[in-house]
Structure 1
């Protein structure tokens, strides 16, 4: 009976975390489909609208360490519920905005900030807290696959809604769907710092404060290498999510191919996330990260040299999908292995901040370079070079516990 109850509890935790991530990631990753209609409706220009999307990438990252620190202390449930409501409001009012400042507020502050509060740093830490240690790698892969499934499911839904109710109505319906994530706040309630404090007291030590944990983490070379690689991941992911439909349109292909390309990325990332969750417990996580970054660089190079047909685009999207968010399980696993569960949401949130600084650059430079040159080629060249650098930066990471406990 106990084993059956534990399995049922584990299933609910994974369903709640993966479901919440599916809704937030699915809504965010389909916003690139609305870039062209927003430009046509507002007349602001591609660079101005890209700025709103880019600020959203940055703000999504900035909110995560703070959201993680709050969740570590007052509980995941409250933070998650507030985040869901902010995503709903921001997404629903975006079609009403007619200025760059308005789009930055709706897309970049409300929707992106809410998605950060309901994002991977909070969800991964809650999952790691609620599942047995031996299942954390696979659990993180399942939660990550939830985000991928959200992208796979939301992209064709967004295309269908746009065809039936227009782009503005489609955005508002996507915002309303986010309300389905609210029950996850109850399932994932609780915080990790209380458990860490009990364990520290039992061993005659005291739990590190947030400031002490951050200082020790930033002094650890492996943590800095990990953040540098994740910055490159953010550049790549944000550029694809925001500008892949534009890349496909620039190749003279129908808009539907852009929607299906995003869906294929989401579909194959489900397999990639589950595979990576399984692999985390069997191979060194830094080697897996190096492999992922190398695969991305090679795939982009082949795509640039290949003829741009729908089949080539979909194959490229499939390869990108396998690596798209597969970096999250080994990155979260390395943070947990180096620093333990106390303050994990905050420390992983800091790594996510680096990810989103890269995301800001990827989203903004994509629009700026295209507007200046009429092509995305130079962004692809930068992406290849960054992927090679991220692969090399992953190799010196030491997979060992790095935080020194403080005496009581």
Structure 2
């Protein structure tokens, strides 16, 4: 890069702390809004006469659409920068929430909360926002920067779940969804504080050794051939399955267990509160220890926590402890996973490659949210899904412990790394 180009790149790059703060605001709006969806299952079912399976399908569909749209949103941010992508996503997200607010039938709910929200969140979440934050941090600080942005983004879950609950009790479901849509639009301008990917990412080679970055086609081929990337992608499925099931069905499950009214919303808010510490801690650990090892132990803790919560007697204390432990492991997977992809493949195509990996996460999210509703409608119980969710965590841990983080282009180029450490 010439001196002129270097000065131009520096001019369009915000201060890393500014990028972290802007990323946290955008993530707070997007992730906080979607975290409230479980609060609306009961009102949509009782007040509008919609089957629980249909409502769960709409919530699950937004996860699936998010997954399929994420590689395209990441590629658009890699090419054009995050600002226009975030603006488009915020407007689409808000439109989906507004349509769900006035949905007269299941079809409108599926289009709004399923399709439009899914497209919107793909442009305002990890694949676009954390990629931009990571570009503004050096390789030695990237995991920490992404962890800080994720931690700050958890504030949305802490604040927006009780906010949505209060507005719903005061003005109804429609008012609550309109309020969330308005907050989503307020977050759109913060995309201007994130870096333009094409200015700052072009020179990052996978190993940092000065080689030119590969083309997108070559990067996709390297990813497909890299055993570590394949294992990471398979393991990410479990994260989506676990989180979507719990976020969507925990309030209803606690109601069936005759727990106090409002405890579900409190639990979701506590998950967000403890996720702030967990995301920061995972980012810190990922900068000091192999990220795949940290991920493996995270899935072990999560699987054991889920299993213990399901098997032990329910009380307010057990719900609070469960929410705290889940929060500590909730979104810490994201900075670790995106940081690991950046370590192996570099920054140039991170938005796209993380997006492909994230598709697996969202396939799991779709199944976690939808199967929870389906199994409940068929069996009248969540027991089978709780058991599957716990076992899946232990399987994911084994997959991550087997990952080799050898950089693409090293040790055989497209042959990739094929053995566990």
TM class by shorter-chain length? over 0.9
**Which residue does 1:391 correspond to in 2?**
397
TM-score by length of 1: 0.94
Partner Cα distance (2:18, 2:325) in 1 = 31
Match of 1:18 among 17, 21, 24: 24
For 1:157 and 1:375, the matched residues in 2 are separated by 29
Contact 2:205 2:346 in 1 (8 A): no
Q: Report the Cα offset of residue 198 of structure 1.
A: 9.0
| Aligned mates of 2:222, 2:139 — CA distance in 1 | 23
Q: 1:372 aligns with which of 364, 370, 378?
A: 378
After superposition, the C-alpha distances for 1:64-98 in whole angstroms (9 at most, x for unaligned) are 11100111111111111100111111111202113
The match for 1:224 is 230
Which of 234, 237, 258 in structure 1 is aligned with 2:243? 237
Gaps of 5+ in 2: 1-10, 415-421
Deviation at 1:99? 2.5
5+ residue gaps in structure 1? none
Deviation at 1:9, TM superposition (A): 1.7
Q: 1:297 aligns with which of 296, 303, 306?
A: 303
Matches within 5 A, 1:392-407: 392-403=398-409
Tell me if structure 1 keeps the 8 A contact 2:133–2:195: no
Q: Post-superposition shift, 1:37? A: 0.8
Which residue of structure 1 aligns with residue 107 of structure 2?
101
Shift in alpha-carbon separation, 1:114–1:8, aligned structure 2, 3 A: closer
Q: CA 1:385–1:199 in structure 2 vs 1: closer, same or farther (change >3 Å)?
A: closer
Determine the structure 1 residue equivalent to 2:8: none
CA distance in 1, matches of 2:228, 2:354: 13
Q: Distance in 2 between matches of 1:101 and 1:255?
A: 30
- The question of 1:288 aligning with 2:300 is answered no
Q: CA RMSD in A?
A: 2.1
Deviation at 1:209, TM superposition (A): 2.5
Residue by residue over 1:269-309, the C-alpha shift from the partner in whole angstroms, topping out at 9 and shown as x without a partner, is: 00101111111111111111111111111111111222111
Q: Does 1:150 align with 2:185?
A: no
**Rounded Cα–Cα distance in structure 1 between residues aligned with 2:287 and 2:377:** 45
249, 257, 266: which one pairs with 2:263?
A: 257
C-alpha distance in structure 2 between counterparts of 1:323 and 1:204, whole Å: 35
Equivalent residue for 1:83? 89
Rounded to whole Å, the distance in 2 between the matches of 1:168 and 1:198 is 46
Q: 1:357 to 1:8 in 2, by over 3 A?
A: closer
Equivalents in 2 of 1:403, 1:243: separation in Å?
A: 43
Task: Note if 1:131 corresponds to 2:132.
Answer: no
The match for 1:320 is 326
In the alignment, is the contact (CA less than 8 A) between 1:217 and 1:223 conserved in 2?
yes
**Residue 269 (str. 1) matches residue 275 (str. 2):** yes
SS at match of 1:324: coil
1:296·1:323 contact (CA, 8 Å) conserved in 2? Answer: yes
Of 131-140 and 279-288, more deviation after overlay is shown by 131-140
Q: For residues 6 and 99 of structure 1, do their structure 2 counterparts lie closer, same or farther at Cα, with a shift above 3 Å needed?
A: closer
Asked whether 1:336 is paired with 2:311, we answer no
Larger proportion of helix: 1
Total equivalences in the alignment:
400
Structure 1 residue aligned with 2:368: 362
Structure 1 residue 254, shift from structure 2 partner: 2.7
Partners of 2:360 and 2:56 lie apart in 1 by 19
Q: Measure how far apart 1:185 and its partner are.
A: 1.5
SS at match of 2:329: helix
Q: 1:299 to 1:6 in 2, by over 3 A?
A: same
Using the TM superposition, give the Cα deviation of residue 168 of structure 1 relative to its aligned residue in structure 2, in angstroms.
1.4
CA distance in 1, matches of 2:380, 2:370: 15
Contact 2:135 2:201 (8 Å CA) reproduced: no
Alignment of 1:345 onto 2:329: no
Q: Is contact 1:249–1:255 with CA below 8 Å preserved after alignment? A: yes
Does the C-alpha gap of structure 1 residues 55 and 183 become closer, same or farther in structure 2, counting only changes over 3 Å?
A: same
Partner secondary structure for residue 259 of structure 2: coil
Give, in angstroms, the shift of residue 10 of structure 1: 2.1
- 8 Å Cα contact 1:65-1:350 kept in structure 2: yes
Would the aligned equivalents of 2:136 and 2:195 in 1 still touch at CA under 8 Å? no
Native 8 Å contact 1:293 1:390 kept in 2: yes
Q: Does the Cα contact within 8 Å between 1:13 and 1:127 map onto a contact in 2? A: yes
Q: Following TM superposition, by how much is the alpha carbon of 1:132 offset from its aligned partner in structure 2, in angstroms?
A: 2.5
Contact 1:93 1:172 in 2 (8 A): no
